[in-house]
Chains A and B, each alone.
Chain A
């Protein structure tokens, strides 16, 4: 039943004044109070660990602070400085590049894997699903270290395989043209299992009758994927694209472990740049201004993405 008709039915059966009077009754108040009480731990958590740090970061960004001496208020000076900081803009470009590699890679592969796994019948599907999910349970630090060894030029397994194919060995993390790609691949390897599970859950919600009808009409696999699967996964796709975009702008751990921003700043993404300003140069005020600007960028990007996906989402209602 559609939401509008349900609302009309409810309004008809329960006149407005009746609803209001019921709302004000004691049990209703108690019910609301109970609901807020249940939500309180989450709300407090959000306030303390999300909103408060954002407010504090903004406050610190208005100061000069090296963590060892008292803060000095400088107004918007840090924001003015960052507008002319060429290295910051370069780091943003590097982040955007990384995002352009990471997001499509994760989205595309996890979607295709989900469709593939969904088509596997019986217990074997569970096995494949588990194997596919395993990298997600590995910590970033461990994954970073493992892949750093795998990518080693002389003794790394990846080059071992390449050499077996008769191809020349690569420097991977030691090459400014390859390092960011390697980081994107490792990051994607780590999270693809998780997003595959999300797509799998959404795929299970699509009625089998749609596929049967399409097959009866003579549609091939690609047509079915394009006209049934993809449109019906639009909400999951929106979520995956927004979350992976945010994650791509927050990438740090892998870079800190695997390349430390190098070689020649090829992997010096925005968060790493902020880290460097904060902990290498101890410019905590400036780093906070950079972090706040990055937060605004991610926020704006997510809103734009959400709006874009919603504008093309009207047909997805069933």
Chain B
């Protein structure tokens, strides 16, 4: 009798254990670590992406982590991947894209891009994330640069919005006061400075690397003139150091009369500085030059070494390549940027003609050139040349030659794709 009781109890224990395991298996969710660096409205939007996805995919848990921008762009991602604790989905700038694509860490997203999805994306946007025929990231915004100006300040100083480089230098000088900067440009070395300077290089026909030959092209009049322009702007009084990042709306808080900045600040200007009389014109051009602006924008990348890579890819594709409402909200409400997807642009057609956006749509969009995705070393060489001309009074030709030599030397040993 006692034996039977023990057997029965044993059987019950086994059954309970099995039931527990089965229940746990059924309830276990696929956890996806999702990292970005955004703040304010942008952060809220990123959180909402995960929340919306979990509503339609209850078996997936999106764990969003927000990292301060300086840390994110600095040590955080590198150390996380080095320690095998990197995110499954993360945002990446064009400047960092190649590092991850060439290393094999980025998941090949080509199989997820159906013909329909491919057709929806602008070809140039997909080309920017394609290496050797494989797609390694999902572009979700196209951000353009323009010259913002405070209409009242310019009118008071009797200055017309600059159209040429000479007018820009003259206006910078004339508009500078004890409390107000005539013009804000990015003075600090880095990806962002290069991003905002490239249009001036392109306007004169210059470039950093010849796309066909994959050789250095960082020499000649166009390079020297563009370098000299930024040195002249600093000499004319553009601040050589600012406590805030120059992607912030200086033009809105009244600390600058003109600012070279991107599409993204329009939403901030409308929300926080609606009372300010702000104007916008295309970036000024050199004599005989052609209008050009930079088309930048962050991308979503998926960690190919993650055990949940497939689920992570599905989440990223759902949020940015299949869904229309969320990307539209990002590009038109949270901030202003152009979508790299035709369906999203179509859905928000009315918004692209609203306020300052109309200037971007009518006068600047057509002149956009995609932000180059050079290796970090090349970005550094170009940045060094700019800094030397701006702050060390090095002759533009000399700085360009030095950078050109360094680029050539680097490309000799460089084995990755570009």
Chain A residues near B (Cβ < 8 Å): 66-69, 145, 148-149, 151-155, 163, 169, 171-176, 256, 259-266, 275-276, 278-282, 284
Please tell me if the beta carbons of B81 and A67 are within 8 angstroms of each other in the complex: yes
Given A155-B179, A281-B377, A264:B388 Cβ within 8 A: yes
Name B79's closest neighbour in chain A (CB-CB).
A67
> Which residues of B371-418 are within 8 A (CB) of A?
376-377, 380, 384, 387-388, 390-392
Contacts of B255 in A (CB 8 A): 154-155
Chain B residues near A (Cβ < 8 Å): 70, 74-75, 78-79, 81-82, 99-100, 103-105, 178-181, 187-190, 239-243, 255, 376-377, 380, 384, 387-388, 390-392
> When chains A and B are docked, how far (Å) is the Cα of A257 from the Cα of B50?
32
Please tell me if the beta carbons of B240 and A152 are within 8 angstroms of each other in the complex: no
Could you jot down 28 A-B contacts, CB within 8 Å?
A67-B81, A68-B99, A68-B103, A145-B243, A152-B239, A152-B241, A169-B178, A171-B240, A174-B187, A175-B240, A176-B392, A259-B241, A260-B188, A260-B190, A261-B189, A262-B189, A262-B387, A263-B187, A263-B241, A264-B388, A264-B392, A265-B387, A266-B391, A275-B74, A276-B380, A281-B376, A282-B78, A282-B376
Contacts of B376 in A (CB 8 A): 280-282
Please tell me if the beta carbons of A172 and B241 are within 8 angstroms of each other in the complex: yes
In the complex, the 7 A-B pairs of residues with the closest C-beta atoms, listed nearest first: A174-B240, A174-B241, A68-B103, A67-B82, A264-B391, A264-B387, A263-B391
Name B68's closest neighbour in chain A (CB-CB).
A141
Contacts of B390 in A (CB 8 A): 263-264
Contacts of B188 in A (CB 8 A): 259-260, 262-263
> When chains A and B are docked, how far (Å) is the Cα of A275 from the Cα of B387?
19
Please tell me if the beta carbons of B384 and A265 are within 8 angstroms of each other in the complex: yes
A-B CB pair tally, cutoff 8 Å: 98
> When chains A and B are docked, how far (Å) is the Cα of A284 from the Cα of B79?
10
> When chains A and B are docked, how far (Å) is the Cα of A276 from the Cα of B189?
12
Contacts of A279 in B (CB 8 A): 74-75, 78
Please tell me if the beta carbons of A68 and B392 are within 8 angstroms of each other in the complex: no
> When chains A and B are docked, how far (Å) is the Cα of A173 from the Cα of B81?
34
Question: Which residue of B82, B103, B242, B380 is within 8 Å of A284 (Cβ)?
Answer: B82
Given A67-B81, A154-B178, A174-B187, A263:B103 Cβ within 8 A: no
Contacts of B81 in A (CB 8 A): 67-68
Please tell me if the beta carbons of A260 and B189 are within 8 angstroms of each other in the complex: yes
Residue in A152, A172, A264 with the greatest tally of chain B CB atoms within 10 Å: A264
Question: Which residue of B105, B179, B387 is within 8 Å of A154 (Cβ)?
Answer: B179
> When chains A and B are docked, how far (Å) is the Cα of A66 from the Cα of B390?
32
> When chains A and B are docked, how far (Å) is the Cα of A291 from the Cα of B183?
40
Please tell me if the beta carbons of B243 and A148 are within 8 angstroms of each other in the complex: yes
For the complex formed, measure the closest distance between the CB of B276 and the CB atoms of chain A, giving whole angstroms: 18
Contacts of B380 in A (CB 8 A): 276, 280-281
Please tell me if the beta carbons of A171 and B241 are within 8 angstroms of each other in the complex: yes
